[in-house]
Amino acid sequence: MILTLTANPSVDRTVTLTGPLQRGAVLRAASMTSQAGGKGVNISRAAVAAGIPTVAVLPADGADPFVAELRAAGIDCRPQPPAGDVRVNLTLTEPDGTTTKVNSAGAAVERAHLDQLADAVVALAAEATWVVLAGSLPPGAPADWYAGLVVRLRATAARVAVDTSGAALLALAAALPAAAPDLMKPNGEELATIVGADPLALEADPAEAARAARVLVDRGVGAVLVTLGPAGGVLVTADGAWHAPAPPTTVVSTVGAGDSSLFGYLLATERDAAPDMALRWAVAYGSAAAGLPGTGIPRPGDVDAAAVTATALRPPALT
């Protein structure tokens, strides 16, 4: 079972524009969608679609339509007391796939809210193969909250994956190796903020991305999956590094692509796949998501791992 925590869930509203985004202009929408979302929620959606048991923990009122939507989608949702209404995130998508996001902060939490979330996750971890801590932290949460939760989860049998950004990501990196998860999934820009590298250099050169990811592995992280957009992805473990380019894809929306990549990796590990195959599934899932509108979550039939190749990077990339 894949257990997901979305500490700062959102209603994701996507507006698909008929033309390029023009600041200050009156624009027309080709379509508009709204979906209960957040990184952990997206991963649970993908798990349901793939027939993998999942439980989603998040702060929301049990009677909130947000929770009702998730349960209607087949997600076992375990809402915890919220600090306020679920936030709304807005995405503007242009015809060429260019995406502009406007994310709201969310309701400010108190320590009691965070303690209830953490206790719920730790209690359910006994039943999980993976626990995924995903997304931003809500206002009021200390930056090292994920790091502290990873320490608690390391005492369970579940493997722990973390996908976050900003201050929460930097705090987790600062807490290594005590708070080292089994998997971290930064994109090129996020990885660059940790190691002090040029994000454009990492996104342009898989070997550079592997070198940067190796810093985290050397500090105790089990594996680092770096998503690089059109350049595909890089996976680094203590045993090696691999790069998989993205297959040709007509990009419709990149929202949710990173979440789908993470799920592809988790799905492969649930099937005991080798690291290079897990990377292929990650890139295949992410590419499939980029070809879907809105916060598109691929179904297994949308994903073609056979179209993705993974190549081992030579040892110099890890020094």
Complete DSSP assignment for 113-125? HHHHHHHHHHHHG
Helix axes 275-290, 257-270, angle to 10 degrees: 150
Helix (H) or strand (E) holding 40: helix 39-50
From 12, 144, 163, 259, the catalytic residue: 259
Report residue 195: phi and psi, to 5°. Answer: -100, 0
Q: Is pLDDT at 60 greater than 90 in this prediction?
A: yes
pLDDT attached to residue 294: 65
pLDDT-derived band at 315 (thresholds 50, 70, 90) equals low
C-beta atoms surrounding 152 within 10 Å: 15
Single pTM value for the model: 0.91
- Catalytic site residue 198? no
Indicate the SS3 state at residue 245.
coil
12 in the Ramachandran plot: left (φ > 0), alpha (ψ -120 to 50) or beta? beta
Look at residue 316 in the predicted model and tell me its pLDDT: 44
**Helix or strand holding residue 2 (H, E):** strand 2-6
pLDDT beyond 60 at 312: yes
* pLDDT-based confidence at residue 319 (cuts at 50, 70, 90): very low
Cis peptide bond N-terminal to 177, omega within 30:
yes
CATH number belonging to domain 2-318 = 3.40.1190.20
